[in-house]
Amino acid sequence: MAEEHGPRKRRVRYKGTHPRHYKEKYKELNPDHYSDDVQKVLERRQTPAGTHVPICVDEILEILKPQPGEIGLDATLGFGGHATQILEKMMPDGCLYGIDVDPIELPNTITRIQNAGYDATQFNARQLNFAGILKLLSETDGFDFILADLGVSSMQIDNPGRGFTFKFEGPLDLRLNPTRGISAAQLLKKSSIKMLTEMLDENADEPYASEISETLFKNRENIETTTQLSDFIKESLSEKAPFLKPEAVKKSLQRCFQAFRIAVNDEFGALDQFLRNLPWCIKPHGRIAVLTFHSGEDHRVLTSFEDGLEKGIYKSISHTPIRPSGQEQYLNPRSTSARLRFAIASENIGDIMNGV
Ligand SMILES: C[S@@+](CC[C@H](N)C(=O)[O-])C[C@H]1O[C@@H](n2cnc3c(N)ncnc32)[C@H](O)[C@@H]1O
């Protein structure tokens, strides 16, 4: 076991032989001090608390081909898993910009990457929604490659305080940036049955959207936590679709939480804006990779890339998505739904965008 540094602290108390709750997983939350324990968690095909396992790393490096001297953008920095691998390929004189909308995890990631030895000329990070990437053009004349790995990181999902999952009790928040906008609980209180039904249907294809919406609307004043939301969804399904097997109920819970998350973070609006802005930010022959996790995202990326190909903005795109290998899906079950797409900018992208 790796040695613990600094003054000895009493271990966090928990019931039983293994920590079950997030805050009890003090070893996983301190990977630098407990690397062996973290490795054991990975070998059990789980994601250690407070970390994120990057997905399709080899496939993404193959698409982006980061080179020394280039300037790249990781538009969804997260834990910095992809960024770290990309940076290695760009040294000594490349520069990676990293942005993320999350003000809670971002400082930890910046510190971690800086501590790995990258200075401000090599790694340039800040809090920014990727809808606003045009702002970066005041500092650079475009990027040689751009990566977006959409959705949420494991650190965000696994932290019950952020309310991203029905698996833990927590406030029903689901915001990537909790300092902006309204929480999912507030959104629920402001929504009509029609709005809720549309949200569950359009954001997650929930087959029981209208039944669940009716129950949530009736009980909206009593829903403040993740558990309360999931209990009312389960109650609704057990009344209106009693034949559903537990696995199908779990799928509905996942879809409903996803629908709320997409709504409170305006994820489709941000993605559409990002895709519209990409051609202004990528250099001729530049490489773009986007990793999506559900059909609503993948469809948007495909449509935008196909449109760009037709207009000559992109010279090639992936018509079929690249999937994580069977081994990756086995080792990291969170990668199962991932789909990777690429677009390569044409030589005269600038002229096309400027209508020349
Ligand atoms: C799947 S994680 C990325 C993980 C990262 N690639 C890694 O290897 O650690 C997605 C990240 O995107 C961020 N994100 C989601 N929507 C965003 C947006 N509109 N603008 C910027 N960041 C966003 C989330 O906060 C989260 O940290």
At which residue do the structure tokens 């829903």 appear? Answer: 223
Residues with CB under 6 A from ligand 1: 52, 54, 76, 78-82, 99-102, 129-131, 149, 151-153, 176, 270
| Omega cis (within 30) before 279 | no
Q: How many CB atoms lie within 10 A of CB 185?
A: 21
Bridge partners of 339?
A: 292
Rounded to a whole number, what is the distance in angstroms from the first to the last CA of the chain? Answer: 63
Under CATH, to which class is 178-264 assigned? mainly alpha
Residue 1 has what pLDDT? 33
Strands 314-317, 339-345: pairing is: antiparallel
Domain boundaries defined on the chain: 57-154+268-353, 178-264
Give Dmax (Cα) for the chain.
Answer: 69
Task: Give the closest residue (by CA) to ligand 1 atom 3.
Answer: 78
State the pLDDT at residue 35. Answer: 72
User: Tell me, what's the pLDDT at 2?
Assistant: 35
- Model pLDDT, residue 256: 97
- 79 C-alpha vs ligand 1 centroid, how far in Å? 8
Q: Which helix (H) or strand (E) holds 155?
A: helix 154-158
Predicted confidence at residue 123, as pLDDT, reads 98
Probe residue for ligand 1, chosen from 58, 59, 76 as the CB with the greatest number of ligand atoms within 8 Å: 76
pTM, entire model = 0.89
- Asked if 317 contacts 305 with a C-beta cutoff of 8 angstroms, the reply is yes
**What stretches of 205-245 show up as alpha helix (H) in DSSP?**
209-218, 226-240
Match 């690249």 to its residue by tokens. 322
Atom 15 (ligand 1) nearest CA:
151
Atom 10 of ligand 1, residue of closest alpha carbon = 152
- pLDDT attached to residue 356: 80
List per-residue pLDDT tens for the chain, 356 residues long: 333 344 455 555 656 655 666 666 655 666 667 677 767 666 666 666 677 899 999 999 999 999 999 999 999 999 999 999 999 999 999 999 999 999 999 999 999 999 999 999 999 999 999 999 999 999 999 999 999 999 999 889 989 999 998 988 999 999 999 999 999 999 999 999 999 999 999 999 999 999 999 999 999 999 999 999 999 999 999 999 999 999 999 999 999 999 999 999 999 999 999 999 999 999 999 999 999 999 999 999 999 999 999 999 999 999 999 999 999 999 999 899 999 999 999 999 999 999 98
Among 3.40.50.150, 1.10.3720.10, 3.30.70.2860, 3.40.50.1370, what is the CATH number of 57-154+268-353? 3.40.50.150
**Nearest C-alpha to atom 9 of ligand 1 is from which residue?**
79
